[in-house]
Amino acid sequence: MWHLFAINLCYALRKVGFESDCITPADRNNLGNNTYPEADYYIILNKLFFNFREVLPEKTKLISYLPGPIDFDSNCNEIIDRNNYNEIITKASNYVLAANILDKVELEKNGIATHGILNFGYDEILDPYIYAGQFNRDIDVIFCGTRHERRGSVLDDIEKRMKLNFVNGIWHEDYYKLLARAKIALNVHYFSQKECRARSGNLRILSSVMQKTLMISESIADCSPLVNGEHLILCEWDEIPEACSYYLTHPEEIHEITEKAFDYWTTNYRMDQMLLEFINKHIDSSAVIGEAILPKIQIR
């Protein structure tokens, strides 16, 4: 998921006139063996990439994309010194983008100034990865992801009440093809505490929208830009089997919801337009959307 997000974000930056590249989570363990070419901007996915400032060209600006201000352990305790983290982000990044409004509020509450909100928007560059309609929907319900911690016990309970296809360790095109075969995809939170659950699953949810697969998710405080009941279904975890049973016997409703969600995402939630608004406000008020060359991003 993150790889495709990186391609999409770099491509959108190039469309508005800025040469860009991306640093992925794997890069932090391999600094000495990677070469980072000249670019106006580098996109930093995830957190704690402050040491990349030392290996990038001096003129290059960093845009940090943070899907949450801090990391948690299994008890929802912070595992990063907050003051040190604030200093790292402030010194390393020229701009900080949050994944959603909840993250923006949390980041700013903890002293990290943000410059906007950016999630997994649509762009034509994603069309080759949209497999909806190319496969039979031969999987009723699927969950893709890790199973440990609290999520594992929830999935165990769900499987006692319904058939669930659980898949882990599948990435990139294979992940999207698998989603395109499913009628329903689930989102189950790693943690039970609301403060941890609030920002869970946005990329997983939007990936399902991309493949016109109905997303049934454990409750989330903010699922924007999508609307519960119109674009996805939110419920408590113990209501998931009942919700799946209902929609599997009402395929016309699955079709209506997934088509509406896909149309909304592709029409009203475009990556290039969201990025243009950010650039016009903070970097170059004269920037416009133009043509771009697909970034050649290596999966490191």
**In the chain, domain spans:** 2-121+270-282, 125-267
Q: What is the pLDDT of residue 99?
A: 72
CATH topology of domain 125-267: Rossmann fold (3.40.50)
Name which residue leads in pLDDT, 74 or 299.
Answer: 74
Does residue 31 have a pLDDT over 50?
no
∠ at Cα 39 (1, 23), nearest 5°? 30
E strand or H helix at 81 = none
The yes-or-no answer to whether 2-121+270-282 and 125-267 have a common fold is: yes
State both tokens at 83. 């003051």
Q: What is the pLDDT of residue 245?
A: 98
**Residue 50 pLDDT grade (very low, low, confident, very high; cuts 50, 70, 90):** very low
Q: What is the pLDDT of residue 107?
A: 75
For the chain, how many residues are written? 300
- Are 268 and 225 within 8 A, CB to CB? yes
Average pLDDT, the chain: 78
Which conformational region is residue 149 in: left (phi greater than 0), alpha (psi within -120 to 50 degrees), or beta?
A: left
32's CB contacts (< 8 A; 6+ apart) are none
Q: What is the pLDDT of residue 243?
A: 98
91's CB contacts (< 8 A; 6+ apart) are 50, 53
CATH code of domain 2-121+270-282 = 3.40.50
- The Cα–Cα gap between 263 and 268 comes to 8
- Are 192 and 202 within 8 A, CB to CB? no
Cα atoms found within 13 Å of the Cα of residue 203, Cβ hemisphere only: 20
